[in-house]
Structure 1
Amino acid sequence: MWEWKNIYRGILMGASDVVPGVSGGTIAVVLGIYDRLIEAINGLFSKEWKKHLKFLVPLGIGVVTSIALLAKLIEWLFEHYPGPTQFFFLGLIIGVLPYLVHKADMKHQFKGKHYMLVLIGAVIVASMVFFQTSESEPMQNITFSTYILLFFSGWIASSAMILPGISGSFILLIIGVYSTVVSGISDFQLDIIAVVGLGIVCGIVVMSKIVKFFLENYTSGTFAIIIGLVIGSVFVIFPGVPENLTMWIVSIITFVGGLLAAWLLGRVEYK
């Protein structure tokens, strides 16, 4: 049976993937489908590929639709209301943590080495804040070498996308191609979309196999790393202290909105 409910899940994941600092993998955790997502991607190369395709196709439709429709909106929000927008996603990310803690059964499964892995994961992602670039304008002269760069940028970014806590968009920002990719999507530049898309597909397939192996063989350690990655992403997306009372009020409202969204999504999906 086709899981058409995944279209709305894909829309949420796609929206988050457009935002530097937020991971589609994080949203998959909130929605309670992260394990199934990894299993389904790997299952495409098994005898039960049809079953997994019925899970992934609706999800993919939602992701692509969301990215195509929301790219301009996200750009506009970050241009005009960057602080409140980031506080919303900050609340969303923090709201994910209780679900991860519950899923990992930290109280009973975690030992000293696992908490060390949490710290390592957090430091790895938090350190990315020092690599932010001042990239502003999309590339104008697209050459063959540019396509190669965009392909491998998509590959690396998608490897990050599938890990909760690491934002594929933020990786693109660090590499220096984020505005080029977002502009290409907004303006429907098919060459850029195709090249980056191919890189994304390749990256997701490879990384999903790696994640599946570690989830099956080192479950607690893998969850420890994932929790650390999510905690670290809080430092990456934190926009700083609001500059006036009005921004304080708006930012608090959007932050609470993000927490509430995570709680509601988790309540619906885990019910």
Structure 2
Amino acid sequence: MEKPAFYFKMILSGILMGISMVLPGTSWPVMAIILGVYEPLMLALNKLFSAPKTLTRHDVRLLLFLIIGIGPAIFFTAYFILGLLMKFAFEINAVFIGLILGSVYLIYIEIKKKGFSEFLWFFLGIAVVVVPLLFGFKISNLRFFATIFGSRMLDFISGLIVSTSLPAIGDTIMLLLLGNYRHLLNAVRTFDFTTLLIFLSGFLIGFFAFVRIIGSLLKNYRSQTYAFIIGLMMASITSIWPFTRHTYDLSRVILFMILVAGGFLISFYLEKISTKKVKHGNG
């Protein structure tokens, strides 16, 4: 039986993951890795979808209390927090870069094998994030998606694509690339259930399939999968880099370095208090 601290940490992890699903430049899988719950979450979901009878009580509690945190956080962030946090985008992005760098280091030391295969998958992870950003591609610019049926298809495709539960393919980044972020955020704010249900149906279909894939990869190709994830996470920094040509003054650079260092240290603290308890919880 887990201690009350476990339930608190799972709800808090869910809240932070829910917030990261809404904020531009963030990713709930990256947040899950920072909090030390990504791998156990993927493995628990893989059991749920492929062999439900193998689920332990610990798996069920982990899933339940994460959901308790995630659901309200999504709506609360969309309604009240988003505008406030966007005023401090520089500071938030700086801390998040530190969190990413700290998490990358923690993942790197977990990779037992570091050969050509892992090197190749690392650069593939970088390419997956960077190439669409370089070309500025948005499928919403296609004429078909300007129609009513096309816009509904885009909602479904948006759900399908952001369901990929790999770090750094952030929900909001993918929606921004698709050109559908503001539309879906407004649907949350206005309780546009038609749009939300279409998005959710795409998300669930993609998520059920992808969880089984990532669960299998973590079991059978752990080092390559984590090398790919590191590539994704490193490349994701380009999408939240807080500087522009006009903001490289000394005070901002010093503040940036302090906040990055703080985020780096926070990732180590979160890993210390979360990972071991989550991975070794009893059934």
In the alignment, the residues of structure 2 paired with residue 81 and residue 132 of structure 1 have an alpha-carbon distance, to the nearest angstrom, of 25
RMSD: 2.6
Contact between 1:84 and 1:255, CA under 8 Å: does it hold in 2? Answer: no
| 2:82 is the alignment partner of 1:77 | no
Corresponding position of 1:155:
160
Establish whether residue 182 from structure 1 lines up as the match of residue 180 from structure 2.
no
| Pairwise CA distance, 1:50 | 7.2
Q: 2:19 aligns with which of 8, 15, 20?
A: 15
Which residue in the other structure is 1:38 paired with?
Answer: 42
Out of 169, 172, 187, the residue aligned to residue 172 of structure 2 is 169
Runs of 5+ unmatched residues, structure 2? 141-145, 277-283
> Contact conserved, 1:44 with 1:53, CA < 8 A, in 2?
no
Give the alignment of 1:96-245 within 5 angstroms: 96-105=103-112, 109-132=113-136, 143-159=148-164, 162-241=165-244, 242-245=247-250
Tell me how far 1:246 sits from its aligned partner. Answer: 5.0
The structure-2 alpha-carbon separation of the partners of 1:95 and 1:113, relative to structure 1 and needing over 3 Å to count, comes to same
Q: 1:244 to 1:173 in 2, by over 3 A?
A: same
CA–CA distance in 2 between the matches of 1:252 and 1:114?
A: 30
Q: What is the one-letter code of the residue matched to 1:77?
A: L
Deviations 1:225-262 (A, max 9, x none): 11111111112221324254554454444433422332
| Structure 1 residues 9 and 179: alpha-carbon distance in aligned structure 2, compared to 1, 3 A threshold | same
Structure 1 regions of 5+ residues with no counterpart?
136-140
How has the CA–CA distance of structure 1 residues 33 and 85 changed in structure 2, closer, same or farther, with 3 Å as cutoff?
closer
Per the TM alignment, residue 123 of structure 1 is displaced from its structure 2 partner at its CA by 2.6
Instruction: Write the distance in 2 (CA, Å) between the matches of 1:270 and 1:44.
Output: 21
Tell me how far 1:121 sits from its aligned partner. 1.2
Tell me the alpha carbon deviations over residues 48-99 of structure 1, each in whole angstroms, 9 at most, x when there is no partner: 3574443212212211111111124234432x33322322222221121121
Corresponding residue to 2:54 among 48, 51, 55: 48
Structure 2 distance, partners of 1:119, 1:133, is 20
TM-score (norm 2): 0.81
Shift of 1:166: 1.5
Percent of aligned pairs with the same amino acid: 29
Matched positions, count: 260
1:261 corresponds to: 266
Q: 2-side partners of 1:262 and 1:167: how far apart?
A: 18
Any idea what the Cα deviations from partners look like across 1:157-178, whole Å, max 9, x if unmatched?
Answer: 121xx10121121111111100
Q: How much does 1:142 deviate? A: 9.2
* 121-130 or 248-257: bigger deviation: 248-257
> Of 61, 65, 79, which aligns to 1:58?
65
Please list the CA deviations of residues 76-130 of structure 1 after superposition, one character each: whole Å capped at 9, or x if unmatched.
Answer: 432x33322322222221121121112223xxx1112212221221232123322
Query: In the alignment, what sits opposite 2:143?
Result: none
2:232 and 2:188 mapped to 1: Cα distance?
27
TM value normalised by structure 1: 0.84
| Aligned position for 1:138 | none
